[in-house]
Each structure stands twice: as structure tokens, then as C-alpha cells.
């Protein structure tokens, strides 16, 4: 994960907590496993609300993974934000994975329009046994 070590984090935008509601095994091959997970949860920080995500994970046989995420976020004030991104992960122990990557945003909300020109950096961990995950999203410098 050498590319991520040079990334500089900016302001903390929000923290996210999620619970897995569904997992689909998309493929199994000698190269690894492809999963699609649907999560729901809350986010709090500079923006607050609820979210639902679809995360596609390619788990490789060496314990590393690549992911793509698509998210719909609804703020407590009734604004909608969509987010998408990708990154890399690895297993910390047999049930816990950690990940980091880049997130992009789009909204039609005038008060949140600053997000349209922002790129975020996500760092998080998830417990595959409980289906719970948490992460922090920072403005990317």
C-alpha cells in the first residue's frame, strides 16, 4: 500500500458507522473471491445523516483486497449526497479487515455544493463476524 502512505489528510468531514444488511458472493476463482455487500448506517461530523452503500470487494488470496463503493447519503436537513470511490484493504486478523481509499461527492444542495469539488479520503475497519464497520472520511489535501 505504498501509494496511500504519501496521502495527506485534511479536515475530518465525518465519521461513518455501518451495519451489513446483505452480502452476495459474486464469484470464486483461484485468484480470490468477489463479494457485493449492502450496508446501512449513520454519519456524523461536518454533515450528519443516514446512508446506504453498495460495496464490491475483490478479496485476493494473499489477504489484500480492492473495493469500489457507491453511497446515497441523506442529511438530517433533508439534503441528498451521492458518493463513490475505490481503494485497497487488508485483513488485520481472521475477522477484521481495514481499508483506505478515495471518495468523490455529488449533491444538488446549494448549502453543500462545496462537496461537488471535494475529494475525500476514507480509512476504516470492519468486523466480518458482526457485519459492523466504522470509518473516518477526511478532505483530501
Q: Which fold has domain 2-140?
A: Porin (2.40.160)
Secondary structure of the chain in HEC code, one letter for each residue: CHHHHCCCEEEEEEEEEEEEEEEEEEEEECCEEEEEEEEEEEEEECCCEEEEEEEEEEEECCCEEEEEEEEEEEECCCCEEEEEEEEEEEEEECCEEEEEEEEEEEECCHHHHHHHHCEEEEEEEEECCCCEEEEEEEEEC
Structure confidence by residue, pLDDT tens digits, 42-95 = 999 999 999 999 999 999 999 999 999 999 999 999 999 999 999 999 999 999
What per-residue confidence (pLDDT) applies to 55? 97
Domain residue spans in the chain? 2-140
pLDDT higher than threshold 80 for residue 6? no
Amino acid at each position: 500500500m505504498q501509494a496511500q502512505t504519501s496521502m495527506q489528510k485534511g479536515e475530518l468531514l465525518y465519521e461513518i458507522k455501518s451495519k451489513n444488511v446483505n452480502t452476495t458472493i459474486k464469484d470464486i476463482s483461484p485468484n480470490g473471491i468477489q463479494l457485493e455487500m449492502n450496508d446501512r448506517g449513520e454519519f456524523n461530523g461536518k454533515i450528519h445523516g443516514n446512508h446506504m452503500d453498495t460495496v464490491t470487494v475483490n478479496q485476493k488470496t494473499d489477504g489484500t483486497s480492492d473495493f469500489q463503493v457507491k453511497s446515497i447519503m441523506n442529511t438530517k436537513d433533508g439534503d441528498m449526497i451521492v458518493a463513490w470511490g475505490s481503494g485497497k484493504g487488508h485483513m488485520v486478523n481472521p475477522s477484521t479487515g481495514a481499508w483506505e481509499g478515495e471518495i468523490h461527492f455529488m449533491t444538488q444542495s446549494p448549502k453543500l455544493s462545496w462537496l461537488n469539488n471535494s475529494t475525500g479520503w476514507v480509512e476504516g475497519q470492519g468486523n466480518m463476524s458482526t457485519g459492523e464497520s466504522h470509518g473516518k472520511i477526511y478532505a483530501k489535501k
